[in-house]
A = this chain, B = another copy of it.
């Protein structure tokens, strides 16, 4: 994939909850020397530990491709990210709070660094090359172990200082709530991630059935073979995802929802019941187009490279 016409190579780092992906993106947009290593977890110095690992990866790539010097680096991370201030505000999984990523990364890498949010960066690539490019009001959801999202309004990313797109933490009705709310009890609600993520599907099925299960895909297969508990858990996930999608439609008039991540691999087994449920919930509102993400696991790395290119071009 060609990422523009910049003449410089850039380093790209996609820091995830489990793995760090790294590569050198050459002037033509080819990803060279791509590698994946476990994300270092240091509870005391979580940000520093990650950046030390990135510096090591940068050295490896410099040795492997001595004739293609990188002129900038793109670093993307999960959680709440202030890309303007260069701060990793919060990551529940990786543990940092208000860590100055841009400044510390520039120190270690000796390069200008474009620091940004993982899903917003991947979503920008998905928007540019995937099935949602004709729409201006788009939500890109990555549904895997957790749920993250990037929101676009009028073709522009909605960031709100890094606090937008927390769809995984948006409230949904709790399918396990026994009774409705009373004055003295909180509403029977939970968060989307606890019902609609691939992780939640596997966990809820195991808890309800007592059977160990190999991920959300296994729950879907069991449901298709007539397992009523599996069918219930899958339907609960669809209900929860539809609930949140309809919130987006009502609040910001979302026209298209792109669904990526592990759960999207279910394809129409997910999208078809999801469309039906969304249609049932909505009234006079426009029905949003539900689209499977076209770009795979590398969209983040490409997004990080695009951010670094934009930095060199003076566009960020």
Interface residues of A (CB under 8 A from B): 80, 90, 92, 136-137, 151, 153-154, 156, 158-167, 169-171, 173-183, 186-189, 231-232, 235-236, 239, 243, 246-255, 280-281, 283-286
Q: A39 to B305: give the CA distance in the assembly, Å.
A: 57
Copies per assembly: 2
Q: A182 to nearest B CB, angstroms?
A: 8
Which of B156, B164, B175, B181 sits near A181, CB closer than 8 Å?
A: B175
Residues of B within 8 A of A136 (CB): 160
Inter-chain CA distance A67–B187, complex, in Å, is: 60
Most buried by B among A151, A175, A250, A285: A250
Q: Is the CB of B249 within 8 A of A247?
A: no
Q: Are A183 and B235 in contact (CB under 8 A)?
A: yes
Contact of A246 with B159 in the complex, beta carbons under 8 Å = no
Distance to closest chain B CB from A137 (angstroms):
4
Q: Which residues of B contact A283 (CB under 8 A)?
A: 169
Residue of B nearest to A163 (CB): B253
Q: What's the minimum C-beta distance from A96 to chain B, rounded to whole angstroms?
A: 13
| Interface pair A164/B251, CB less than 8 Å apart | yes
**Closest B residue by C-beta to A234:** B183
A sample of 20 cross-chain residue pairs with beta-carbon separation below 8 angstroms, ordered by A number, consists of A137-B161, A137-B164, A154-B160, A158-B253, A160-B254, A165-B251, A166-B251, A167-B250, A169-B285, A170-B251, A171-B243, A173-B180, A179-B180, A180-B188, A182-B232, A187-B239, A189-B243, A189-B281, A248-B251, A251-B252
